[in-house]
Structure 1
Amino acid sequence: MQKPKVVILTGAGISAESGIPTFRGVDGLWEGHRIEDVASPEGFLRDPETVQRFYNTRRADVRKARPNAGHLALVALERKFEVHIITQNIDDLHERAGSKNVLHLHGEIMKSQSSSDPQKVYVIKGDDIRMGDLCPAGAQLRPHVVWFGESVPNMKEAIKLTNAADVFIVIGTSLQVYPAANLIYETKKECEIYLIDPNASTLNVGKRVVLINETACAAVPELVKMLTK
């Protein structure tokens, strides 16, 4: 018998509870840097050293972090459901928690890619990417992160997964980042939808969605218990 399919969209809120900064502050800056300076192809062309340092520091933050109760609870869903996680996060906390099917929309900070061909992706050797670290074709390596102005290559697969979901759970995102924010509208009519976020009640997502005004650590374990009974 085929297991029901649960598809989960996670955002910065779930990783923030593990101590990973959400980067973007109320002033529009990422850790004191303008977004266009550290998260765009143009910024990398202007000042690649600063961009590399920025992501090397972020990568160190990820290494120090540990999966939290929200990440771990999602693994328990796999006992009764076919579970797919679509994450906007570039960390590897879902994988370290034990989740088997994780689709990264915005890349993976623990990997590098060729600056001349985004399809050429590599595991980082050591802790950092440095200027002069080249891919086999001779191009400079850069973080494997989808920057502003770049396409989201895994979006088609994310839509396909969402279309087939029996249960769709949104965790730790205010649905302000597109195109990922549109996934909630790609669910079939009979799909159960839950949205977990401290600001869930302020979001205009329609009456079908069960809004849970809690953090991931507080609400995800309880929702998993309910779904697995």
Structure 2
Amino acid sequence: MINISHYKDMLQQPWGKIQYEITFAQLAHLENLDILDFGAGFGLVSQFLSQKNRVTAVEPEADMLLADDHQTYTKIIGSLEVLKDLPSQTFDVICCHNVLEYIEPSQRPAYIQTFERLLRPGGRLSIIKHNLVGKVLQSVVLNNDIETALGLLEGEVFKSLSFAQGKVYSLEDLEKMSQLTIDNYLAIRSFYSLQPNHFKTEEGWLEKMTQMELAVADLQPYKDVSFLQHVWMKKSL
């Protein structure tokens, strides 16, 4: 189950806002495209992208998708089942952000393969995923939770205050799920997941940390130790 209230409250905090600031910066180059935002939540990414693109948002939780009736992009309530009704090669870009962690691992290939069908030749899939290394670092450094960190290393599920329990997957796992190839991957939350939250309410923190996060987003080793990874996968021509 999704704790919508907790998730909404988190988005109002500096550590909630910065994640979307980074994400928006990494999507800002997209223009005049047909885009599917799968698992759109409150539609923050859809709303940002719809400023310069044609966006269809799919989300199973109606209370989230319909929370703001001022948004103008296309909204579809549902999940994988509604994608079956969409024609092949409909979209230039598909976004699937922080979703697959909460899907049964055996079912994930069906999602990726459906995205592949819906992408036009040369189209790209934008996936934001939890990164095992980054989650272990946050558990130890920020939370001082050694038990959770050891459990993650042993492949245990993780618990989320906003979402149901989830399970991480690797870049290699993604490549095995379809014929899509990884074009690149970027860091999200290399540093701020390791800082105590009291720093994050200081004046100017959001702007300075966003600048820092973006400065290392495409650099190693930072994108290999970030809490989240933004993976771009491409469909062949």
- Give the TM-score, by structure 1 length: 0.41
Structure with a larger share of its residues in helix? 2
